[in-house]
Amino acid sequence: MPGSQEHDGANNPLFGKSLLSIRQLSRSDIERILGEAESMKLMLDDGKVEQPLRNRIMATLFFEPSTRTRLSFESSMQRLGGGVIGFADANTTSSVKGESLADTVEVVSNYADIIVIRHPKIGSADEAAMHSRVPVVNAGDGAGQHPTQALYDMFTVKAEKGRLEKLNVALVGDLKNARTIRSFAYALAMFGNNLTFIGPRQLQMPGEVLRELSERYGIGVETSESLDDALDADVVYIPRIQKERFADVEEYKRHASNFYTIDKKFMDRATRDPIIMSPLPRLGEISTEIDGMKNAVYFRQAGYGVPVRMAILKMMLAR
C-alpha cells in the first residue's frame, strides 16, 4: 500500500516542508497523501495505530474560531503519540499586547516541532512560515487557502464515490469568501473534474481563479446563479455564508435570507445520486431533513479529517 512506503525525499512531498496551499501539491502528491491517509484509516479501524511522533510537539495557533480543524489536528497528533500546546483564543495571548504575528511565530517555533495556524488575514500562513524554524501548516488564512481541508474533502470524494476523476462537481454558495471552496476547486481541477460554481452574482468566484482553473488544468468550468444547475452533479459542496468576511452586516443579512438550501425536494429532483458535502458548521443551507440519507456525507466527511491529518503530520515529521 502507498502508506507503507518509507518516507524520504524521493516519495514524500511533505517531509520537512510547510503546507501553505493546495497549489503547491501535484496530482501525484495528493494521491500519495491520500494513500497514506487510507493506511491511517485502516489502522484506526483496527485499533492498532503506530505512534511515530512520540516526543514530538505540535503548536496550534488559532487566531480565529475552530471546532473541527483544531480538534481533529489535536486528535491526530495525540493518536500518533505526540503532544499538543497552543491556544484557541488569541485574546489570551500576547497579541492583545501588540505582539506581531512574526514575533509570536518566532517564539513558538522554539517550543514545538510543527505549527498549525489559523488567522483571519490572507497570506498570514506564508508570513508565519517565513519566521518559523519548524514546518507550518495553514489551517485557514482568511478567505485564502485551507489545504488540509481540501485534502480530506478529496479523501471524502474517493471514499464515497469510489473515484476522483470524471465527476461533475457543483460548488455552491459564498464562492468569493469560502477558502474551503477555493482550495477544493484546485484539487478537483488537478484530477480533470468538471466544476460548476453556483452563487449570487455578488459572491461569485473571482474571475482570475476561474480562468486559471480552465486554462491551467484544461477542465470545464461553468458559473450560475441557479441551484437547479446542481441537479446533475455527482458531488454538491455547500458551505455556509462567511459572515465574518462581510464588512457590512446588512449585506450579509440580505444574502443569508436568500441563500440556497439543499433539502429533500432538491434530492428528489437530483438525477445523479449526488453526495452532499459541507465543511461545516451549517446555518440552514443544508436541511436537517436529509441528515439520515446516505447522500448526506458531511458528518462522515468531518470524521475523515483525522486519518488525513494524521497522514499529513506523519509525512511532515517522520523520517
Max Cα–Cα distance, the chain, nearest Å: 55
Burial (CB count <10 Å: 0-12, 13-18, 19+), residue 131? middle
> What number of H helices and E strands is found in the chain?
10, 9
Q: Which three cell numbers stand for residue 261?
A: 438550501
Catalytic residue, chosen from 97, 201, 294, 319, is 97
Taking alpha carbons only, the member of 185, 271, 269, 183 closest to residue 222 is: 185
68 given a catalytic annotation: yes
Partners of 223 in the beta sheet? Answer: 197
Q: Alpha-carbon distance 253 to 62, whole Å?
A: 27
Q: Alpha-carbon distance 185 to 163, whole Å?
A: 16
Q: Alpha-carbon distance 172 to 175, whole Å?
A: 7
146 given a catalytic annotation: yes
Catalytic residue, chosen from 7, 17, 27, 68, is 68
Catalytic residue, chosen from 119, 146, 240, 314, is 146
In order of 232, 260, 269, the CA distances from 287 in angstroms are: 19, 10, 15
| 200 Cβ neighbours under 8 A, 6+ residues apart | 225, 255, 258
In order of 109, 113, 183, 218, the CA distances from 60 in angstroms are: 11, 11, 21, 37
Q: How far out from the chain centre does Cα 296 lie?
A: 18
Catalytic residue, chosen from 56, 118, 176, 240, is 118
309 given a catalytic annotation: no
Q: Which helix (H) or strand (E) holds 62?
A: strand 57-62
69 given a catalytic annotation: yes
Contact of 156 with 297, CB cutoff 8 Å: yes
314 given a catalytic annotation: no
Catalytic residue, chosen from 60, 69, 156, 196, is 69
Enumerate the active-site residues.
68-69, 97, 118, 146
